[in-house]
């Protein structure tokens, strides 16, 4: 009986929305096209529903499939999926958010703080991050290191030449990795590396004691540990404390044959120092998904360096992450309506970060 009543209520709400979809419901939500489609699949979890305003891939705004005037849109909340950053729509999206003075909360697909949030913070808009990228980023790290160790490029070259060229390769099993930034992403990397028989060392500014590593290191112990590390993975946020974290001194301490992987932010690495270190052969290679300047300029020496793998900030490209961010939006929407704390709230730069699920798990 209750289900039938809910259906009747939902149908009534839909008729009301059709009459004036921009003003008839309590919460108007600005969504990327992907977020809107995925939210439609979760309508039974959102009660009352929201009035959807969708930004299409070409930048147009639509309501119920009809084009809407940006001046008439007054969203209270917003949710973006990560494909926004892959298709070049980030700039118009943030411009739209800045024009929407009605906006009170934005659910971002990014994990932590990024500079475009600052104008939102200045006018009191809340921003929540989404720890939904750990799975694809950690899979990217594992495949990239395996490809380097196994010299996968040699197989591709042999195939292109139609030549049968067997070769031996280095095993990941029994190696030692250092993960800098053992948050959600770093933890996912550590868990997968351990499953391959890797000994994992970790570093985190505020350790919880629950990090899935064999040994946690304070910052002062890192230089002494680097000579025994075969792989160093950067997964920490960009903060004043982490800017230039990997400098000439850090690089000089890395082991011969070691690999540096950066899936964090380009600001963590002194790029000229890294290029000089690669020329000296220590580290042996760098797998870089992020850079100080993005897109990477066409004349950057990283493009052609024989010891560098360049990918276009796409390690988080797993398709299932979009559903995870919308699931988080649904949960946070319920919290927002009830006046409860939002999950993964992002603080302005320089302020203490909000608790994450890792912190909550450690306290439980």
**pLDDT tens digit sequence for 198-255:** 999 999 999 999 999 999 999 999 999 999 999 999 999 888 889 999 999 999 999 9
Instruction: Please say if 313 is a catalytic residue.
Output: yes
Contact present, 322 and 81 (Cβ < 8 Å): yes
Give the number of other CB atoms < 10 A from CB of residue 8: 10
Q: 141, 148 in Cβ contact below 8 A?
A: no
Whether 2-132+319-363 shares its CATH topology with 134-310 is answered: yes
DSSP for 37-66, please give it.
Answer: HHHHTTGGG-SS--EEEEE-TTS-EEETTE
Catalytic residue among 157, 171, 210, 294: 294
By the 10 Å C-beta count (0-12 exposed, 13-18 middle, 19+ buried), 344 is classed as: buried
Give the N- to C-terminal CA distance of the chain in Å, as an integer. Answer: 38
Question: Which of the pair, 306 or 68, is modelled with greater confidence?
Answer: 306
**Inter-CA distances, 91 with 98, 116, 237, Å:** 11, 9, 22
What are the pLDDT digits (tens) for 160-195? 999 999 999 999 999 999 999 999 999 999 999 999
- Which residue in 54, 148, 203, 313 is the catalytic one? 313
Residue 157 known to be catalytic: no
Domain spans in the chain, listed from the N-terminal domain onward? 2-132+319-363, 134-310
- Find the catalytic residue in 265, 307, 321, 324: 265
CB count in 10 Å sphere of residue 67: 9
131 is catalytic: no
Mode of pairing for the β-strands spanning 285-288 and 308-310: parallel
Of 335, 349, 334, 364, residue with least CA distance to 49: 334
Alpha helices in the chain (DSSP H): 2-19, 33-40, 83-86, 90-99, 118-122, 134-149, 152-160, 184-195, 222-225, 248-252, 271-280, 321-338, 357-363
- Tokens for 108, please give them: 């971002």
Q: What is the per-residue pLDDT across 308-328, written as a single tens digit (0 to 9) for each?
A: 999 999 999 999 999 999 999
The pTM (predicted TM-score) of the whole model is 0.82
CATH code, residues 2-132+319-363: 3.40.50.720
pLDDT of residue 112: 77
Q: Which CATH architecture has domain 134-310?
A: 3-Layer(aba) Sandwich (3.40)
């Amino acid at each position: 009986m209750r289900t039938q009543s809910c259906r009747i209520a939902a149908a009534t709400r839909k008729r009301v929305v059709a009459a004036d979809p921009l003003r008839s419901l309590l919460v108007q939500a600005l969504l990327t096209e992907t977020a809107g489609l995925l939210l439609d699949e979760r309508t039974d979890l959102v009660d009352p529903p929201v009035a959807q305003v969708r930004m299409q891939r070409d930048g147009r705004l639509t309501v119920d499939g009809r084009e809407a005037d940006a001046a008439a849109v007054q969203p209270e909340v917003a949710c973006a999926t990560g494909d926004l950053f892959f298709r070049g729509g980030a700039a118009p999206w943030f411009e739209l958010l800045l024009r929407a003075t009605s906006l009170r909360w934005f659910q971002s697909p990014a994990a932590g703080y990024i500079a475009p949030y600052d104008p939102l913070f200045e006018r009191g808009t809340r921003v929540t991050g989404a720890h939904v990228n750990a799975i694809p980023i950690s899979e990217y790290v594992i495949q990239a290191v395996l490809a380097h160790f196994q010299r996968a490029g040699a197989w591709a070259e042999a195939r292109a030449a139609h030549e049968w060229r067997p070769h031996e390769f280095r095993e990941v099993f029994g190696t030692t990795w250092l993960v800098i930034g053992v948050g959600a992403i770093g933890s996912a990397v550590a868990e997968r590396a351990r499953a391959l028989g890797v000994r994992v060392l970790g570093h985190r500014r505020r350790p919880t004691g629950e990090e899935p590593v064999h040994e946690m290191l304070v910052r002062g112990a890192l230089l002494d540990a680097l000579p025994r590390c075969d792989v160093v993975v950067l997964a920490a946020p960009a903060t004043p404390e982490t800017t230039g974290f990997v400098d000439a001194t850090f690089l000089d301490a890395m082991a011969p044959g070691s690999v540096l992987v950066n899936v964090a932010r380009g600001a963590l690495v002194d790029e000229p120092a890294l290029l000089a270190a690669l020329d000296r052969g220590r580290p042996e290679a760098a797998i870089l998904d992020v850079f100080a300047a993005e897109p990477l300029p066409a004349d950057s020496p990283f493009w052609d360096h024989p010891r560098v793998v360049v990918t276009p900030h796409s390690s988080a490209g797993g398709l299932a992450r979009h559903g995870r961010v919308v699931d988080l939006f649904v949960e946070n929407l319920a919290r927002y309506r009830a006046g409860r704390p939002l999950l993964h709230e992002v603080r302005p730069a320089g302020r203490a970060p909000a608790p994450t699920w890792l912190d909550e798990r450690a306290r439980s």
